[in-house]
Amino acid sequence: MSEKDDAASDMTQLQETLREVQSLLEATQTELTEARNAQESLASEGERLRKQAMTFEARRTKEVQAHEAALARLRKQADSDVIHAELRAEATRLGAHNPDDILRLLDLSNLRRNEDGTVEGVGAALEQARAERSYLFSAAPVSGAVSGNTVGSAAPRPGHAPGFDARGAPAADYETRKWQFLKGNS
């Protein structure tokens, strides 16, 4: 009987081991199912985030294009305003009766604003207008020293701003200039 008892004991141990292995297998299958569900959930979340990123990128691209178009439009308008102002000032300096009339008659396609803000071709355009339509301009003003009187004088040319004397400036002006200088806006 001892062999039978040993065999029964071995069988019981094997059955216990089999139950443990089956419970481990079930636990592993449950973990595998949970991992697959988590993987599917992460995959769907990743796809949703990819779609959202693509939507944001498309929106950003559209906004950048709209911004660049608006910026180009503003630059073009600013260039046009600077060109018109430069033409009016130079026409006035040359003795134009009505600078706005001259602006309407000029071909502005040859005028360009440089990167440094100066306008190219203003003098040539106004000299051409003066040669073709001299009735729009008065006689060129001469200085009082040349004409023999002090009544007529040439229009002043724009000059440079005088230097800043920090020693004689009020404290508020000094502080303002100091911070402008430190920021690089001198």
CA atoms in the 13 A half-sphere facing the CB of 83: 22
List, for residues 58-102, the tens digit of each pLDDT value.
999 999 999 999 999 999 998 889 888 998 988 888 888 888 888
Return d(Cα 91, Cα 130) in angstroms, integer: 9
For the entire predicted model, the pTM comes to 0.49
pLDDT of the residue at 185? 63
